Structures are given as structure tokens and as C-alpha cells.
Amino acid sequence: MCNLICPSMHKAERDSIEALIQVLDIDNNRNYYCLLAAANSLSRFPSLRSLFTSEPASRPDPTPANITQSIPLPVPVHAMDMSDAVIVNSSRLKSIVWNDFDRVKKGDTFVAICRHCKKKLSGSSTSGTSHLRNHLIRCQRRSNNGVAQYFSAKEKKKEGSLALVTIDQEQKKDEVLSIVNLRYEQEQIKNEHVGMGTNSLDQRRSQFDLARMIILHNYPLAMVEHAGFKIFVRNLQPLFELVTCNKVEADCMEIYVKEKQKVYEIFDKLPGKISVSADMWTASDGAAAYLSLAAHYIDEDWQLKKKILNYVTIDPSYTVDMHSEVIMNCLMDWDIDRKLFSMIFDSFTSDNIVDRIRDRLSQNRFLYCNGQLFDVRCAVDLLNCMAHDALEALCELTQKIRESIRYVKGSEATHATFSELADEVQVETKKCLCIDNPLKWNSTYFMLEVALEYRKAFSCLRDRDPVNMKFILSELEWDRLSTITSFLKLFVEVTNVFTRSKYPTANIFFPEICDIHLQLIEWCKNPDKYICSLALKMRKKFEEYWDKCNVGLAVAAMLDPRFKMKLLEYYYPQIYGDSASVVIDEVFECIKSLYNEHSIVSPLASSIDQGLDWEASGIPSSAKDSRDRLMGFDKFLHETSQAEGSNSDIDKYLEEPLFPRNADFNVLNWWKVHTPRYPILSMMARNILGIPISKVASESRFDIGGRVLDHNWSSLLPTTIQALMCAQDWIRSELES
């Protein structure tokens, strides 16, 4: 600008040039002739025009007398007061740059306000749009989605008003953000597409994205009607047409239907069987109960998968028959009753419900081994039940420990004294005393474990302050606490093993369950009747579980190439003593029966049967054409292969040496690689290893109490709750994969 303004100019004339430059948004580096052309187009600035058209020697001296006082000087656009300005809507604004500017009228002057940085430029029709386009190129606050917005909708326009929060990035921290009412044009979009540069706004797609977000993150459906959400969306994308709560609910239902069809197609193509787990939930207010059914299976890529099938409301007044009927209806609705291998229930589920479902499926001969492996109970539920028994036995002692910790941490002086005593008795632990969370039984275990390490310090504090430490434990109580805490330690460790993987395979459970079995046998031998009675109570629950599940656990362990039958031969003599060989034989008979049933439905078996049909009937098949001179060779090959290779898959598998044990071993990958070598046994492995011996999610493995439905959804209709819960599981699974 300094190159265009002479030092001898009068201030008024310099202001005129500055105003003109502001109007055209021309910076110091713009071409001189751009300003010259603009000055020529404005006839009311003759002095400015002569300034640039005359030779420098002949230019008149700019004095106050040369300035025509009757012509008002233009007010710089950026300095205009826009308080009473009105947004002008005109169909004549065809240029795409107007998608980034608001055209405002102030008196007789038109101003273009950048929607990104709020800069004011000339909006006059005589100014053109080049300066607006140039500004967009330099505008730092403009998004990178493109210069243009191409409006393809041609429907009628309607006006509305909305509170838009305008936030200037250059505002100081102490400035108050203001909500300014602006008028805007809203396109009624019927073809659902609004282009924005190279990207596009798809109204319907955006609505589904919103519904998916609500499903994925447990958001309340009513959030779409919250004022803050509406303001956020309008500021983010004013062209998006906000939806109502009913509309987003309908979108969620539509997503559920589409995703359900995908799950149908997955089940239809599955190479193996499906195991189904049943889990009970309650509403956050306790007013309703829900039954969740989930399918567990190993897909064609040998990946263990889980899909929630149903989430239905259960009335407390339902009888056993009604419960079993609800489950059967869900299975038949998914058309997986004939594909069912086993069902996994809570440890407290009535046996009558399980028996009715098993009998119903056995009538159609859908189950292997006459349903012997059908009823599976959750291993983590068993551990939680036994941990609850242990904590119940420690109830009084646990309360005394809590009171002792509260007293120690109640004042700085007491805490300092306790720390000194801990140093004197040489307590080695650096862990801090803490109060447990009664809703997580593992936190109670950790509290007791730390308290035991400070046992000597607590005893010294009692001797020093017997009045306030009257609730401290006696030596016998400390001993009992130590023994029962060791029970809890084992339960915590095994639970962590079971839930270490999101989808644990069935082969990992057998050795851990056997260890618990052996420990319970030892605990029952404790001379302290208090400890012995607790161990007997836990052992009774364990044996109920063991009777139902030990065969399935043993078969899964046999299908681990690191163990095979050797793991049974190691543990069963310790558990059963002299009768171990009988039990091992019973398990192996079940394995052979299971193998034979899989061989019947094996594609390999079918192909062998078809190959023998031609010999029995004498009728040539399409593959055995009468002109095929090698038919005799096929017969010879079949006879010699049967004579030489009479061993079955299972015989070959058990004869081979054990696979080395290592931490990175993946049993599903092993069977994927060895499927060609063991085609029938791999089918059996796919069905057995897919049984979810534990169905408890890792985040709730130590919870005291059942699963609780979030309050955001518990007040909705039962059909909507089922759609949201199922769709959430399916979408999350898709994102993870």
C-alpha cells in the first residue's frame, strides 16, 4: 500500500485509497493495475483516478482544495457497525463462493461476511467475486473440505431461526462467548445429497451414522432433542436436518434389521456347530429382568466369534416350561436349533429348564452323544460362588480389618505411629492399606492380603493403644484369615487365566479346574473345623459343576496337541485314585463316539460313500464314465489304501508326539494348519473348542451380582431394547474385526 500512497497526499485522500483497498481486499503485494482498474470503475473518485492515469510530473498537488467536499468518503467495510444489518437472500447469487459468505445489507451498502473468519468484504454486485475467491484462498480458518458447496436440491426454501454459537478463535480468555440469533436459509433436501467440495453431505447417511453412534456408546435416544446437541450440530453442519427421538429410534430399528440379516447369512454358511450361552440381566432400577442369548462359534477362518442373538424381557412369574419355551422360540427364530452343540447356563439355572430344552432337541436327533455335552455351566460363575462363600465366612473378620484400617488412616499421627511400628517389626511390603469396594470381591481379597502383610504392625499398635484397637484380630482369627485368603488368591488367579482372552478356547480350562479340585480335597483335610466346613461347602458346589462338565473339559484338553490324553493320565490318578483308569476309559469312549458321529456328517465320508456306490450298483456315475479305463485302478487304490491306512484321524493324532508347550501357542491356528491331515477330527475340534466354558465378560468377572442394563435404555420398549443391545454387539464386533 505504501507504493500507492504519496507522502504529500492529504489525509482524506489517503483514507479513500485505504477504504478502496479494503473494499477490494487487496494487500500490499497486489498488482498496481488491479487498483487502477478499480479506480476507473468508480467515477465518484475523480481525484483518485487522475492520480493513477496522469504522469507523475503532471499530477496535481493533493491539497484540501482539490478534494470535493460534497462527495462523502467511503467508510471502511471492516469498520462498519453491523448491528442492524440484514442478511440478503437472492436467487441471483449464482457463484459458488457465496456458500462461504453471508451477503448483508447495511443501508445502501452490501457487505460479504466470511462464514469462517467473519471478515467483512465488499458485497456489491459491481465488485464481482474475485476478491471473495482470493480471500478464501488465504483464509486460515476455512476448513479444508473444499472451496465450493454445490447445492443440488431445487425444492422450495424455507426460513427458520436458530441460535448459533459464534466463537472467535482470537477472543481472549476473559471475553464472554455470546449467542447471536442469525437467520439462515434451510434447504428442503429431497434427493438427500449436498456437495461440499470433493466430499458430500448425505442426509440419510448422516442420520444412520448418528443412530450407530447412539447404539455403539449407549447414548440415550433423547439426546437428539437436547438443546446443547442441536446447537452443536447446527454449528458443525447447518445443512443437516435434525431428527426427533422417534425418528432416531426408527433408524436404530432399521439398522438392527439390516445387521440381523448379515448374522443370518453368517450362520447359514458356518462350517461347524453353534454353542449358545444364556445370561440374566436386570434393569438399573430392578424393575425388570432380561434374558440374553449369545451364539459362540468358530468361523471358516478358525476365529472364535460371539454374536448376541436375543435380549428378551423375562417375567418373574414365568414357570420352568415358559422359560424353556422362550429359549426354544429364540433358537427356532434364528433357525439354529438343528445347529446347536451345547448351551451354557449360570450355575444357579434350574436343571429342569435345561432338561426340557435338551429333550426337545434330542427328539429330532440334533445333539451329539445324546446330549451328554449339551449342559455346560459357567466356570467363572462357579469361582464367584465359591469366593462368595469364603467372604461370607470372613464377614466378621473383614469388618474388623476395615475398622482397623479406618483407624490407622483416620489421623496423620496414628498413621505415622503405625508406619514407625511397621519399620520396627521389619514389614517388607511397600503396599498401602486401603478400604475395599464391596461390589468387587477381588478388591476385598487385595485389602485382606495387604492387611496380612501388616499383621505384626497391627498387633504392636494394639499393645500400644488397646482402647482404640479393641477390634483388632486375635492370633486364631489372623490364622483363619490367612488360610481363607489363600483360597481367594487361587480363585483370583484362575479367574484371570479364564478371562485373559476375550474369547478363551475350551482347552485352557481343564488343568485350572483340576488344580482347584485337588486344592479343595486338601482344604477339606484341615484340622480347623471352621476351615473344613467352609471347604466342604465349596467342594459340594464344585462337584455339582464337575459332574456336568468334566467330560467336555477332558475332550477339549485332549484336542490340545500339547496335552492329548496325557493330561488326563496326569490329573485323574490324583483325583480318582485307583479308579482313574476306569474314568479315563469312559472319557475315551465318549471321544470315539463323538468322532464317529462327526465322521458320518463329514464331507470326506460322503465322498467315500459316493465313490463306493458305483461298485455296489454297477451304474456308472458322472465321475465314473463307462469309457474311463482307470475305473479298475480306482477300485485297487481304495482297497489298498484301506488295508494300508486303517488308522483313523484320532489314532494318527494320538500316536504322534506332543507339540512343545510355549506361551505363544494358538490351538485354533494349529487346527487350521492341520485340517487337511485330520479332516474329521478338525470338525470335532471346531465344535468342542468353540464351547464357551466361561461366558462372563472380563470387565465384570469379579462383580458381586448380575449384569445391569444401563438406565438410558431400560425405560424403552422391550423390542427397542433388544434391537439396541443386539445391534451394539454386532457393530462392535464388526469394528474389532
User: Residue 508 in contact with residue 514, Cβ under 8 Å?
Assistant: no
CA dihedral (718, 724, 730, 733) in degrees, to 10, reads -130
CA dihedral (355, 359, 360, 365) in degrees, to 10, reads 140
Distance CA 324, CA 339 (A): 18
Q: What is the pLDDT of residue 646?
A: 56
CA 493 from centroid of its chain's CA atoms: 26
Radius of gyration for the alpha carbons in the chain, expressed in angstroms and rounded: 40
Of 215, 181, 39, 24, nearest in space to 728 by CA: 215
CA 690 from centroid of its chain's CA atoms: 22
Q: What is the pLDDT of residue 631?
A: 67
pTM of the prediction?
0.69
Indicate the residue type of 600.
I
User: Residue 440 in contact with residue 702, Cβ under 8 Å?
Assistant: yes
Distance CA 400, CA 503 (A): 39
End-to-end CA distance of the chain: give it in Å, rounded. 60
What does the angle CA 293 – CA 551 – CA 305 come to, to the nearest 5 degrees? 35
Q: What is the pLDDT of residue 532?
A: 95
Helix (H, G, I), strand (E, B) or coil at 706: coil
The segments of the chain whose pLDDT lies below 50 read: 1-4, 23-71, 144-198, 605-626, 643-644
Q: Cell numbers at residue 233, please?
A: 450440530
Give burial (CB, 10 Å; 0-12/13-18/19+) of 414: middle
| DSSP conformation class of 370 | G
The CA-based diameter of the chain, rounded to the nearest angstrom, is 127
Give burial (CB, 10 Å; 0-12/13-18/19+) of 343: buried
Phi-psi region of 149 (alpha: psi -120 to 50; beta: other; left: phi over 0): beta
Q: Nearest 5°: phi and psi at 513?
A: -65, -40
Give burial (CB, 10 Å; 0-12/13-18/19+) of 635: middle
What does the pLDDT look like over 34-83, one tens digit per residue? 444 444 444 444 444 444 444 444 444 444 444 444 445 556 665 666 66
Distance CA 194, CA 99 (A): 12
Give the up-direction half-sphere exposure of residue 61: CA atoms within 13 A in the CB hemisphere. Answer: 4
User: Residue 71 in contact with residue 107, Cβ under 8 Å?
Assistant: no
Distance CA 205, CA 192 (A): 9
Q: What is the pLDDT of residue 676?
A: 92
- Please report the DSSP string for 456-511 in residue order: HHHHHHHHH-TTTTTTPPPHHHHHHHHHHHHHHHHHHHHHHHHTSSSS--GGGHHH
Q: What is the pLDDT of residue 190?
A: 37
User: Residue 100 in contact with residue 142, Cβ under 8 Å?
Assistant: yes
Of 696, 708, 703, nearest in space to 438 by CA: 703
Q: What is the pLDDT of residue 83?
A: 63
Helix axes 395-408, 412-424, angle to 10 degrees: 110
What does the pLDDT look like over 112-154, one tens digit per residue? 898 888 888 888 878 888 888 888 877 766 654 443 333 333 3
Give burial (CB, 10 Å; 0-12/13-18/19+) of 338: middle
CA dihedral (206, 208, 211, 215) in degrees, to 10, reads -130
Indicate the residue type of 101.
F
User: Residue 134 in contact with residue 25, Cβ under 8 Å?
Assistant: yes
> In sequence order, what are the beta bridge partners of 277?
294, 344
Of 293, 267, 505, 277, nearest in space to 375 by CA: 277
Those residues whose C-beta lies under 8 Å from the C-beta of residue 539, and which sit 6 or more positions away, are 520, 521, 523, 524
Q: Cell numbers at residue 679, please?
A: 479332516
**Buried b vs exposed e over 209-222: b needs ≥16 C-beta within 10 Å?**
ebbbebbeeebbbe
